[in-house]
Chain A
Amino acid sequence: MNLFTVADFYINRLVNSQARSSNPSLIEQNRIKALILDKDTTSTISMCATQSELLNHEIYLVDTIENNNRNVMRHLKCLVYVKPTEETIQALIRELDNPRYGDYHIFFNNTVTKSQLERLAEADSMECVSKVEEIFQDYFILNEDLFSFDLPSENLFYNSLMWDEVGLTDCTKSLTSLLLSLKLRPEIRFDATSRLCGKLAKELSYEINHNESSLFDFPPMDSPPVLVLLDRKTDPLTPLLQPWTYQSMISEYIGVKRNMVDLSNVPDIDKDLQKVTLSSRQDSFFKDTMYLNFGELGDKIKKYVDNYKEKTNTNSRINSIEDIKNFIEKYPEFRKLSGSVAKHMAIIGELDRQLQMRDVWEVSEVEQNLSVHKDDPEDFQDLVKILENSKIDAYYKLKLACIYALRQGNDNSQLNEIVQILQNQPLVPVDDVNLFHKFRRIFGQNQAADESRYWERDDLLTELTKRFNSRMRNADSGNVFMQHIPKISKLLTDFSKNKVPKEQFKTLEETETFRGASASPPSQDLVVFVVGGVTFEEARFVHEFNQTMEGKMRVILGGTSVVSTHEYMESIRQISGSDI
């Protein structure tokens, strides 16, 4: 269930593709290949393969199908890797009508309908297509256990209760491709309080059981894999808190798009460092540090730089021919290291600058205290202090107020006091105060209804047992900035013990009830999908869970997108007031 191995498998299929009929002669094997992508697959493939990997397989030309200025080159064998959308099918038909290359191998990254295939066949009057194949990778792989569809939430939903038609089909298709690529035919469980999840679950199960039932014909497993559909609304707290792990901080303060970090806004940045890639596959330092918090990260980067310095010192002492030879021998490796050090130093420097500039340390401490303790007058005092501090950005004030509202229920005189303070602040626009009211309206009832049920049903005793039984490594519990534990952690622990209540996480088929909660062993493969966006903070918990449960359970986390706090607040702002 490592997503990268899945991706590798597909890329290998792609680059080593041979037509079945012809016996592969030597000339055929060494033939130069072209790879034609569309705008969706470009991102998909560049997140898991590199240019040099393609070059190693004689793919010397990469282009997009949208580009109409390609030259005619009949000597090339062409690999087409596209998403079966209407647009690209049209482009493909145009291409086949007047082929530019000698031999076409077409790969789709999701299921292609028969009518689409028929249209293609009709267009292929030159008979230059020799292979058509579906591989299932209609999603973006961020980490080995994190995927995203990169569908922004404003296009996905009409409002907080209704899916957009197109968004729903897109989401269902992508999710189907994920399940197919992992060879899972899961039992679908969804958050009973969320209508969005219910709808998606229905669509998905229809797709699995009726439309593509031949594809989902996998041998049954001892313990059925489970797909859990969650709604972001169930845990609105996590995406509101300032994150502290390396990966999530980059996404929060600098912004990372498909593994590319744009540093061009950083003052005095070196020209080579304006755009850098960060992939846990190619960058071993990033792989080690992506889940670490800022303090641990500081130690790591210090060691890394020391190591680098040591190497530069040995390199600067070149006295004999022996030294020169050593230097030349190690030079490529050294250059790689220096590039990596420069990259990470630039990123961490920028992070530190942003943290200082925006007083995030102070804000985050109060945030965390508010999210963990309930009704603590001291916390309230701190909150008021921050709200009245004119140095702090209005955005953080609004966010703090929202967090407080989330934690303290609805009718509280203190909330009114907060509104008063917010209104008195000259820097907080009226719009934001309205947003705060909206936030309270959306999550007020929601939270109150939820309170008594699943998530918060811990009295003292359960609290204690949870402490003991929780399979998370709570190494960070001493850290003031990482006190909050996302709800997903509790969910995972419960799944591992097979103690997830049916009424809270419904299954669709009533027939499956015979697999009673305690009868079957806990499922080994779990896919958690968060409608409305997942956070990197949650990805860290999933990663740690996978490490502690190694060999017993495997979890893959995904979401319609990956949200930072800004994106999440923005998505709430998008919800029009009448729809609540």
Chain B
Amino acid sequence: MFRDRTNLFLSYRRTFPHNSKFNSSRRPLEDPFADEDEEAYPMQEFGTKNSDTLPPSFVNLTQEVDESLVEVDRLMVQLSKLYRKNALPGFEDKSHDEKEIESLSFKLIQLFQRCYGVMKRLQRVEEEQQYMGHQLQRDDLVILENLRKRYAQKIQIQSNKFRVLQNNYLKFLNKDDSKPVFPKSEGASQLLLEEEEEEKGQNRDIEAYSRQTLQRQRTNNASATQQFLRERDEEITQLAKGVLEVSVIFREMQELIIDQGTIVDRIDYNLENTVIELRSADRELKGATRYQKNTQKCKIILLLSLCVVALFLFVMLKPHSNTKTVKVPSEGTVPAQHPNHLGAPSENDQEARRISLAVV
């Protein structure tokens, strides 16, 4: 049971005079929608610098994954058809089909690798927190992370399907090897024995002949099976290689997948957690500003200490140069000062004499 109230809401909205021009003049920068009404040039509006109306460009990367996955789906259907056809016992030559199978699985593995490449790129974007020169916002990062999780899951599901498909075929091939080859030869020898017993008393010539042909047949058979075996072996190793490659991708994706049924999958837990993350980011920012202030202080201290050192050097150097400058003119000035020096004692003598007179 639900009730749609859109009409009521719209009719209410119509009763209020919403002047988009007024709004756009009030908030010219923040309002791309008002522009749309005003200009009525949707194309132009689309092309303007309002980049925030377009999804962030990293979203486009995921389109590649989507395309690849659609392709994977198509190829997988083909492949399973071929597998089924091949699994049926038959006499016609299967080498053509086998080649097609090979090329198909090769293509599939390539597609998976392409998806994996995109995921890697997204991861790099997330780690650097910027894309094509743009610094990403916090919400962008949240979106990006969720995007990665989602696509990892998608790829995971597809690759799992592929691996199951291949595994089944591999199992069939292995069984196929042991079944048609060994039991057949066993049956043949048994037949041979029976025939021998039957024909013992009848005809020696025929017996010799049949034995010969049978033997020939058997060697023929053996060499054929050997070749067949080798071919099969190669095939199996190749398929196994493919499986392993895909499972590497699978394992990498596994790290991203949300464990369903655990706390990580709770909506409210995620909400709270992002809040904590933001706080920690905030704290880090504060720390950074503190550090920055500290560095400013450091710079000033460094500057001051440089000044001190410079002054110190200056002081260190100055007396040295003083003594020099003093020394050089001292020889010239001393004689000049001499008369003064000589005159002073005369004054002193006069005073001393005056004092002595006073005493007397």
- Say whether A277 contacts B263, CB under 8 Å: yes
- Say whether A117 contacts B53, CB under 8 Å: no
CB within 8 Å of B: which A32-76 residues: 32, 37, 42-43, 45-46, 49-52, 54-56, 58, 60-64, 67, 69-76
Q: How far is the CB of A420 from chain B (nearest CB, A)?
A: 50
- Say whether B146 contacts A60, CB under 8 Å: yes
A112 at the interface (CB under 8 A from B): yes
- Say whether A50 contacts B260, CB under 8 Å: yes
Which residues on B sit within 8 Å (CB–CB) of A32?
Answer: 55, 59, 143, 147
- Say whether B259 contacts A10, CB under 8 Å: no
B111 at the interface (CB under 8 A from A): no
A460 at the interface (CB under 8 A from B): no
A223 at the interface (CB under 8 A from B): no
Which residues on A sit within 8 Å (CB–CB) of B32?
Answer: 74
Closest to A63 in B: B271
- Say whether A132 contacts B269, CB under 8 Å: no
| Bound CA span A111–B267, Å | 24
Q: How far is the CB of A70 from chain B (nearest CB, A)?
A: 6
- Say whether B23 contacts A125, CB under 8 Å: yes
Q: How far is the CB of B74 from chain A (nearest CB, A)?
A: 18
Which residues on A sit within 8 Å (CB–CB) of B254?
Answer: 331-332
Closest to B274 in A: A63
B100 at the interface (CB under 8 A from A): no
- Say whether B52 contacts A74, CB under 8 Å: yes
Given contacts A32-B55, A112-B5, A125-B18, contact A71 B267 (CB under 8 A): no
Given contacts A20-B6, A124-B13, contact A61 B142 (CB under 8 A): yes
- Say whether B147 contacts A339, CB under 8 Å: no
B39 at the interface (CB under 8 A from A): no
Given contacts A61-B139, A134-B3, A335-B259, contact A42 B16 (CB under 8 A): no
A434 at the interface (CB under 8 A from B): no
CB within 8 Å of A: which B205-232 residues: none
Q: How far is the CB of A211 from chain B (nearest CB, A)?
A: 13
CB within 8 Å of A: which B174-232 residues: none
Q: How far is the CB of B217 from chain A (nearest CB, A)?
A: 34
A276 at the interface (CB under 8 A from B): yes
Closest to B31 in A: A126
Which residues on B sit within 8 Å (CB–CB) of A181?
Answer: 1
Query: A55 is contacted by which of B2, B5, B146, B160 (Cβ under 8 Å)?
Result: B146
Question: Which among A150-158, A321-329, A475-483 touches the partner chain?
Answer: A321-329
B126 at the interface (CB under 8 A from A): no
CB within 8 Å of A: which B225-276 residues: 240, 243, 247, 250-251, 254, 257-271, 274-275
Query: B261 is contacted by which of A20, A55, A134, A277 (Cβ under 8 Å)?
Result: A277
| Bound CA span A347–B258, Å | 22
CB within 8 Å of B: which A98-142 residues: 98, 102, 111-112, 114, 117-118, 120-122, 124-136
Closest to A122 in B: B16
Query: A71 is contacted by which of B10, B140, B167 (Cβ under 8 Å)?
Result: B140
| Bound CA span A128–B270, Å | 28
CB-defined interface of A428-445 with B at 8 Å, one 1/0 digit per residue? 000000000000000000
Which residues on A sit within 8 Å (CB–CB) of B264?
Answer: 51
- Say whether A50 contacts B263, CB under 8 Å: no
- Say whether B260 contacts A75, CB under 8 Å: no
A336 at the interface (CB under 8 A from B): yes
B80 at the interface (CB under 8 A from A): no
B317 at the interface (CB under 8 A from A): no
CB within 8 Å of A: which B16-51 residues: 16, 18, 23, 27, 30-34, 50
Closest to A27 in B: B55
- Say whether A52 contacts B139, CB under 8 Å: no
Query: A328 is contacted by which of B2, B147, B250 (Cβ under 8 Å)?
Result: B250
Given contacts A60-B147, A112-B5, contact A277 B262 (CB under 8 A): yes
- Say whether B50 contacts A74, CB under 8 Å: yes
B61 at the interface (CB under 8 A from A): no
- Say whether A45 contacts B267, CB under 8 Å: yes
Query: A260 is contacted by which of B6, B18, B266 (Cβ under 8 Å)?
Result: B266
Given contacts A51-B267, A73-B52, A328-B251, contact A121 B16 (CB under 8 A): yes
- Say whether A339 contacts B270, CB under 8 Å: no
A340 at the interface (CB under 8 A from B): yes
Given contacts A32-B143, A60-B143, A128-B33, contact A136 B2 (CB under 8 A): yes
Which residues on B sit within 8 Å (CB–CB) of A13?
Answer: 2
- Say whether B267 contacts A329, CB under 8 Å: no
Given contacts A112-B5, A135-B2, contact A74 B53 (CB under 8 A): yes
Q: How far is the CB of B35 from chain A (nearest CB, A)?
A: 11
B114 at the interface (CB under 8 A from A): no
- Say whether A102 contacts B53, CB under 8 Å: yes
Which residues on B sit within 8 Å (CB–CB) of A296?
Answer: none
Which residues on B sit within 8 Å (CB–CB) of A215?
Answer: 1, 3
B12 at the interface (CB under 8 A from A): yes
Chain B residues touching A, majority SS: helix
CB-defined interface of A542-573 with B at 8 Å, one 1/0 digit per residue? 00000000000000000000000000000000
- Say whether B259 contacts A339, CB under 8 Å: yes
Which residues on A sit within 8 Å (CB–CB) of B250?
Answer: 328
A180 at the interface (CB under 8 A from B): yes
CB-defined interface of A154-178 with B at 8 Å, one 1/0 digit per residue? 0000000000000000000000000
Closest to B251 in A: A328
CB within 8 Å of A: which B123-145 residues: 137-140, 142-143
B153 at the interface (CB under 8 A from A): yes
Given contacts A13-B2, A42-B268, contact A61 B146 (CB under 8 A): yes
A309 at the interface (CB under 8 A from B): no
Q: How far is the CB of A559 from chain B (nearest CB, A)?
A: 22
Which residues on B sit within 8 Å (CB–CB) of A70?
Answer: 139
- Say whether A275 contacts B263, CB under 8 Å: yes
A353 at the interface (CB under 8 A from B): no
Query: A75 is contacted by which of B56, B147, B150 (Cβ under 8 Å)?
Result: B56
A183 at the interface (CB under 8 A from B): yes
- Say whether B266 contacts A51, CB under 8 Å: yes
Closest to A118 in B: B12
Q: How far is the CB of A191 from chain B (nearest CB, A)?
A: 27
Closest to B136 in A: A71
Q: How far is the CB of B81 from chain A (nearest CB, A)?
A: 22
- Say whether B140 contacts A62, CB under 8 Å: no
Closest to B167 in A: A325
| Bound CA span A58–B243, Å | 30
| Bound CA span A258–B257, Å | 24
- Say whether A339 contacts B5, CB under 8 Å: no
Query: B9 is contacted by which of A58, A117, A183, A340 (Cβ under 8 Å)?
Result: A117
- Say whether B147 contacts A52, CB under 8 Å: no
Closest to A43 in B: B268
B326 at the interface (CB under 8 A from A): no
A283 at the interface (CB under 8 A from B): yes
Query: B153 is contacted by which of A55, A121, A133, A182 (Cβ under 8 Å)?
Result: A55
| Bound CA span A63–B274, Å | 9
- Say whether A133 contacts B5, CB under 8 Å: yes
Which residues on A sit within 8 Å (CB–CB) of B34?
Answer: 126
Which residues on A sit within 8 Å (CB–CB) of B8?
Answer: 114, 117, 132
Which residues on A sit within 8 Å (CB–CB) of B50?
Answer: 74
- Say whether B5 contacts A132, CB under 8 Å: yes
Sampled A-B contacts (24; CB under 8 Å): A42-B271, A51-B258, A51-B265, A52-B153, A52-B260, A69-B278, A74-B32, A75-B52, A98-B30, A102-B53, A122-B13, A122-B16, A127-B13, A127-B18, A133-B2, A134-B2, A134-B4, A181-B1, A182-B1, A277-B263, A282-B260, A328-B250, A329-B164, A329-B167
Given A60-B147, A131-B6, list of 8 further CB < 8 A pairs? Answer: A46-B268, A52-B153, A55-B149, A61-B143, A71-B140, A127-B13, A128-B33, A277-B262
> A residues within 8 Å of B by Cβ?
10, 13, 20, 31-32, 37, 42-43, 45-46, 49-52, 54-56, 58, 60-64, 67, 69-76, 98, 102, 111-112, 114, 117-118, 120-122, 124-136, 180-183, 215, 258, 260, 275-277, 279, 282-283, 321, 325, 328-329, 331-332, 335-336, 339-340
